[in-house]
Amino acid sequence: MPGDGHKLNGPEGQRLMRAAPHRRAVPEDNIVEKVLRDTMGAVHTEDLFVEAVRDLVKDEVKAYIRGRLDANPELKAEIREAVRDLMQAKLQEAYAFAKLAKAGVKLGLELVPPEMRAEVTKELAKIIEKEVGAILERSG
């Protein structure tokens, strides 16, 4: 409060709170940005190192498993057959989803008023053609 005799109150207190005129905030900001960039760069380097070590460990585990499978041809054949069955099941699942999607589109078209059905069907065909074309381009 003014007049209570404390040195931090009044014009002297305000002067103490101001930054010294010779100090600039811009270089400090640059230093902070530089430290953050350097720190983030170090983090990325550490991530890269950890990822490389993880890949090396995975390669060793794969080599160990391959060695064990090569030593047991019956087990290797059993695993191949199981993987083949799994892939076939996944393809059947995808086919079932495609059939469900087709039935869903048919149901959706049944819900469209008859006077709009031709227009909606044409637009839907364009969308499907575009999407299927994009899928075929990616897979080809």
Plot region of 25 (φ>0 → left; ψ -120 to 50 → alpha; else → beta): alpha
**pLDDT per position in the chain (140 positions), as tens?**
454 454 555 554 444 455 555 555 545 567 777 766 766 666 677 788 889 999 999 999 999 999 999 999 999 999 999 999 999 999 999 999 999 999 998 999 999 999 999 999 999 899 989 998 998 899 87
Predicted structure pTM score: 0.49
The pLDDT of residue 31 is 78
The pLDDT of residue 78 is 97
- Which tokens is 95 given? 């086919």
Query: In this structure, are residues 55 and 49 in contact, taking their beta carbons and an 8 Å threshold?
Result: no
Query: Residue with structure tokens 């799994």?
Result: 86
33 in helix, strand or coil?
helix
Buried b vs exposed e over 65-79: b needs ≥16 C-beta within 10 Å? eeeeeeeeeeeeeee
The pLDDT of residue 29 is 62
Distant-in-sequence, close-in-space partners of 75: CB < 8 Å, separation ≥ 6: 69
Distance CA(66)–CA(81), nearest Å, equals 16
Domain ranges of the chain: 9-68
Query: In this structure, are residues 116 and 135 in contact, taking their beta carbons and an 8 Å threshold?
Result: no
Distance CA(53)–CA(46), nearest Å, equals 11
